[in-house]
Amino acid sequence: MITSLRLSNFRAFESLTIEGLEQVNLLVGRNNCGKTTVLEAVALLATEGSLAVLLDIVARRGELIAPPKDFFARREYSKYGISSWLRSYREDEYDVSHLFRGHRLKLGTFFEIEGSNDEAAKIRCEVADEFASSNSIQSDMLKGDIDLGFHPSISLKKSTDETPIRIPLSSSKGISQETLRELDIRERAERKPVHFIPTGGLDSSDMGILWNQVALRPEQQRVVEALSIIDPDIEQIAFVPAESFRGGSTTGMCVKLKSMDDRLPLGCMGGGIERLLALSLSVIRSAKGCVLIDEIDTGLHFSVMSKMWEIIIRMAKRLDAQVFATTHSLDCVRGLAELQQALPDLCEGVRLHRIEKDFEKAITYSAAEILIAEEHHMEVR
């Protein structure tokens, strides 16, 4: 479990320290203060600097570069055998510049993410010295009359590695799909599971994968119990091909109600049900790892907040999963205060961390302090 976190030059943060992290952590603060950035930092630290996770973070924010389609239009280069490479060149590239404070890729620019758990862990990503692209086709082209030049690389290093991973950047200063195919970097299979739930929720394929991992196991009933806090009439859920539904379905999930014989598409039950399903499945599949939830209360009515927190906290403790969530909602914070008042022992491992844009250290509140603040109408967001 991550007990502290320190960011240096990561996105908008020049420096940020969060101490006193516990099993369940709620991040609050104003818009654009960096709450989602903290979730991204946790994802990178928990996966030991996974390149796949780093690129997923970039893609999720739409930080992509569309290479110019007319780059080769002026001349005929078929003699270099680059037709397949040309097609891949037109694929979007990952724009990693926004991961660095200032959004600029200058030699020596770096960011660091450091945390403490059983032992210290650190990820360092740096814009390294100029590095010739590993692309063999580009190398062949350099022997001819085409000079693509040399470009900086990204150096990604974790504390347990003696040497960093080096990823060459393209002429557009992005990481191309072709480069990734040639590097063929193998991820470490033994890393802890990490699941990220964006504000918009999970897509149908992600939900199906998570559901198949809990189907016909004891966890399946716990998922049904989670959904019943919104609709007690829900009896069973299943994942089926979308075309199986009359009129189709956007999710492939269906529910069986006690009061009906026919199954219903999950989508017709409302956004709150889908959100709770994504939350419960992700926590279950993050056993001994962590789940990151952006705007945890999205789609949920204030009346179910306390029960939602109870379910998530119980699941996290039982499965030894660490939860990081963000919110803007006062109702979400009040739900924690209500749960603290009703079940103080359950909330022992809960913390709220307030992030201020220009502060180098987050302000941390225990669940008991959240209750006191609520009773005295004190603003903790």
What pLDDT does 182 receive? Answer: 76
What pLDDT does 97 receive? Answer: 94
Q: Look up tokens 């680059």; give the residue.
A: 82
* Residues 257-299 pLDDT 10s: 888 888 888 777 778 888 888 999 999 989 999 999 999 999 8
Residues with Cβ within 8 Å of 131's Cβ and at least 6 positions away in sequence, in order, are 150, 151, 152, 153, 166, 168, 169
What pLDDT does 294 receive? Answer: 96
Q: Average of pLDDT values for 210-225? A: 83
- How is 341-353 classified by DSSP, letter by letter? HH-TTGGGGEEEE
Q: Average of pLDDT values for 368-375? A: 91
Per-residue pLDDT band for 250 (boundaries 50, 70, 90) equals very low
What pLDDT does 68 receive? Answer: 56
Q: Is the predicted pLDDT of residue 220 greater than 60, yes or no?
A: yes
What pLDDT does 333 receive? Answer: 95
Choice among 178-192, 267-281, 348-362 with the minimum mean pLDDT: 178-192
What pLDDT does 243 receive? Answer: 54
Considering only CA atoms, which of 327, 313, 319 is closest in space to residue 286?
319
Per-residue pLDDT band for 352 (boundaries 50, 70, 90) equals very high
Residue at 58: amino acid letter: V
268 vs 188, which has greater pLDDT?
Answer: 268
Give how far the C-alpha of residue 47 lies from the chain's centroid of Cα atoms, to the nearest Å: 11
The CATH architecture of the domain made up of 194-375 is 3-Layer(aba) Sandwich (3.40)
What pLDDT does 255 receive? Answer: 85
Mean confidence (pLDDT) of the chain: 82
Q: Is the predicted pLDDT of residue 73 greater than 70, yes or no?
A: no
What pLDDT does 108 receive? Answer: 87
Per-residue pLDDT band for 69 (boundaries 50, 70, 90) equals low
Distance linking the first and last C-alpha atoms of the chain: 25
Considering only CA atoms, which of 192, 190, 211, 189 is closest in space to residue 322?
192
* Structural domain boundaries in the chain: 54-183, 194-375
- What whole-number distance in Å separates Cα of residue 5 and Cα of residue 309? 23
What are the structure tokens assigned to 286, written together?
Answer: 């993050």
Considering only CA atoms, which of 331, 224, 198 is closest in space to residue 277?
224
Considering only CA atoms, which of 279, 124, 115 is closest in space to residue 192?
115
- What whole-number distance in Å separates Cα of residue 87 and Cα of residue 104? 28
Q: Look up tokens 């193998």; give the residue.
A: 186
Choice among 101-115, 118-132, 177-191, 340-354 with the minimum mean pLDDT: 177-191
What pLDDT does 139 receive? Answer: 41
How far apart, in Å, are the Cα atoms of 50 and each of 43, 55, 141, 350? 9, 9, 31, 28
Residues with Cβ within 8 Å of 186's Cβ and at least 6 positions away in sequence, in order, are none
Considering only CA atoms, which of 308, 337, 334 is closest in space to residue 323?
308
* Report for 56-70, 91-105, 232-246: range of highest mean pLDDT: 91-105
- Please return the burial class of 368, using the count of CB atoms within 10 Å of its CB with bins 0-12, 13-18 and 19+: middle
Q: Is the predicted pLDDT of residue 371 greater than 70, yes or no?
A: yes
Q: Average of pLDDT values for 160-189? A: 78
Q: Is the predicted pLDDT of residue 31 greater than 70, yes or no?
A: yes
What pLDDT does 134 receive? Answer: 43
As a 3-state breakdown, the chain gives helix, strand, coil percent values, each rounded to 5, of 35, 25, 40
Order of all β-strands in the sheet with 151-158: 13-19, 4-10, 110-116, 120-131, 151-158, 165-168
- What whole-number distance in Å separates Cα of residue 165 and Cα of residue 209? 30
Considering only CA atoms, which of 81, 93, 156, 98 is closest in space to residue 126?
156
Choice among 26-30, 137-141, 335-339 with the minimum mean pLDDT: 137-141
- What whole-number distance in Å separates Cα of residue 150 and Cα of residue 107? 13
- How is 75-126 classified by DSSP, letter by letter? S--GGGT-HHHHHHHTS-EE-GGGGBTTS---TT-EEEEEEESSSEEEEEEE
Say whether 157 sits in a helix, a strand or coil.
strand
Per-residue pLDDT band for 92 (boundaries 50, 70, 90) equals confident
Per-residue pLDDT band for 192 (boundaries 50, 70, 90) equals confident
Say whether 195 sits in a helix, a strand or coil.
strand
Considering only CA atoms, which of 17, 5, 8 is closest in space to residue 101?
8
* Residues 105-162 pLDDT 10s: 888 899 999 998 766 789 999 998 765 444 443 444 334 433 344 468 899 988 777 7
DSSP letter, residue 187: P
348 with 369: CB under 8 angstroms? no
What pLDDT does 290 receive? Answer: 94
Residues in the chain: 381
Q: Is the predicted pLDDT of residue 324 greater than 80, yes or no?
A: yes
What pLDDT does 217 receive? Answer: 79
What pLDDT does 79 receive? Answer: 41
Q: Is the pTM of this model over 0.85?
A: no
Residue at 359: amino acid letter: F
Q: Is the predicted pLDDT of residue 90 greater than 80, yes or no?
A: no
